[in-house]
């Protein structure tokens, strides 16, 4: 029986005891993830809930394939299902840790969603919190791992939440508990490679810090229309403003702190203005209207998306589109309003002018153009397919309105 330091209470608090969906666990074979996998299996076993261990091979070490195979074998021996994932393709010459982190999160999220899992458990500890603080002291922008959060990658991470139940445990405490059970684990040499900021912080013996208290947060007041435009009060908190920008624009990279602060101050000043940031357009009136910046077309944003029959894809980070019996292409409405029917044009003019150009238009051979904004999100009656606006659920997750596995 593993040392219980409150992680069972965290699992009880966040997970849906009645769910039969698999629990996904990021598993490297290292001590932290081994402790986590065993804890997840102990929690899930009484209800018969499956546990899926996902092992990522970054292909950065000569022995990574062997380590991955050992981790998969270990997970299966413990009673979990297991699947190996690989980061393929060329690796960047600069910014490798950040690129590897994004690739890992994308692989894990896609595999979890494919398996039907809504929650991905990760083995971050109090030691990781301390190391993140030490890295920021050196100028890094790495954030603290949070106990519960949406996946940080988009759109791969849609509908997937991260749960880190070990933030009250140090790495030493975890290894002592595993050793007492006679367990062994893998050690990644990158953890002691001082070329990397994380390894330097680990070697420095960073002072342990307490995790952020798990308290209920007051969400902002907001509304989202059928086109995905967000309306917020002008006195919005900085974190919620940043989330609204990303969600309304369908983008992933948060705005730089100084640019976000300038926008925040302009909103709070009461002036009327129009601005762009992080792919979003902001129109400040009585409320702040935030929508996709149609000017992104010229900079490579709002790119067309082509789908084969039955294929699902995400257009512009805002719309999940599934093709029907015929292939289709999704494009921005900008410059194509003349192709709409009179009824569609009548509905179009009811939308704010800033929202119209970046609305999706669906093109199919031999069929009139249609739009999930103008014609409804389900055009399957004609074999056309389905569309789902992602902005609302993404923003609810970002501001903490979804704080448990069951979010329906």
Indicate the annotated binding residues.
Answer: 28-33
First and final C-alpha spacing in the chain: 34
Edge-to-edge strand ranges of the sheet holding 328-332:
305-307, 328-332, 360-363
User: Three-state SS for 318?
Assistant: coil
Residue of 251, 386, 250, 262 whose CA lies nearest to 312: 386
CA angle 175, 49, 15 (to 5 degrees): 75
Binding residues for ATP: 28-33
> What is the C-alpha separation between 32 and 124, in angstroms, rounded?
7
> What is the C-alpha separation between 173 and 362, in angstroms, rounded?
55
* DSSP structural state of residue 158: T
Residue 162 · residue 172 · CB < 8 Å: no
Determine how many CB atoms are found less than 10 A away from the CB of residue 124: 24
Residue 328 · residue 384 · CB < 8 Å: yes
Number of H helices, E strands in the chain: 12, 17
Report CA dihedral (157, 72, 191, 96) to the nearest 10 degrees. -40
Determine how many CB atoms are found less than 10 A away from the CB of residue 71: 26
Residue of 348, 334, 338, 220 whose CA lies nearest to 281: 334
Looking from the CA of 118 toward its CB, the CA atoms found within 13 Å total 16
């Amino acid at each position: 029986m593993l040392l219980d330091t409150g992680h069972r209470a965290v699992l009880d608090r966040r997970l849906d005891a009645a769910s039969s969906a698999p629990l996904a666990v990021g598993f490297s074979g290292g001590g932290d993830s081994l402790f986590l996998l065993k804890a997840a299996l102990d929690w899930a076993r009484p209800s018969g809930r499956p546990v899926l261990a996902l092992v990522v091979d970054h292909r950065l070490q000569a022995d990574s394939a062997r380590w991955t195979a050992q981790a998969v074998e270990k997970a299966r021996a413990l009673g979990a299902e297991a699947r190996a994932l690989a980061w393929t393709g060329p690796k960047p010459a600069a910014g490798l840790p950040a690129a590897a982190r994004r690739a890992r999160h994308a692989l894990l999220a896609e595999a979890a969603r494919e398996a039907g899992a809504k929650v991905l458990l990760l083995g971050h500890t109090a030691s990781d919190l301390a190391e993140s603080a030490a890295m920021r002291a050196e100028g890094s922008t790495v954030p603290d791992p949070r106990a519960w959060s949406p996946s940080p990658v988009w759109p791969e991470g849609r509908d997937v939440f991260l749960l880190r139940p070990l933030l009250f445990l140090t790495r030493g405490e975890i290894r002592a508990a595993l050793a007492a059970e006679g367990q062994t684990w893998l050690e990644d040499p990158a953890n002691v490679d001082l070329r990397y900021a994380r390894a330097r912080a680990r070697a420095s013996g960073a002072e342990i810090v307490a995790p952020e208290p798990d308290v209920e947060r007051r969400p902002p007041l907001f509304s989202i229309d059928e086109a995905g435009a967000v309306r917020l009060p002008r006195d919005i908190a900085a974190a919620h403003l940043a989330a609204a920008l990303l969600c309304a624009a369908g983008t992933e990279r948060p705005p730089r702190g100084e640019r976000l602060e300038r926008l925040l101050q302009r909103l709070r000043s009461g002036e009327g203005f129009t601005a762009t940031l992080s792919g979003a357009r902001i129109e400040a009136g009585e409320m702040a209207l935030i929508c996709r910046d149609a000017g992104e077309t010229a900079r490579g944003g709002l790119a067309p998306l082509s789908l084969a029959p039955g294929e699902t894809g995400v257009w512009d980070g805002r719309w999940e589109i599934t093709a029907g019996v015929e292939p289709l292409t999704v494009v921005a409405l900008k410059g194509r309003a003349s192709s709409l029917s009179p009824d569609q044009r009548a509905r179009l003019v009811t939308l704010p002018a800033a929202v119209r150009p970046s609305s999706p238009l669906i093109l199919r051979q031999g069929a009139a153009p249609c739009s999930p904004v103008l014609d409804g999100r389900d055009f399957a009656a004609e074999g056309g397919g389905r569309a789902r606006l992602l902005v609302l659920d993404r923003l609810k997750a970002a501001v903490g309105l979804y704080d448990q596995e069951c979010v329906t």
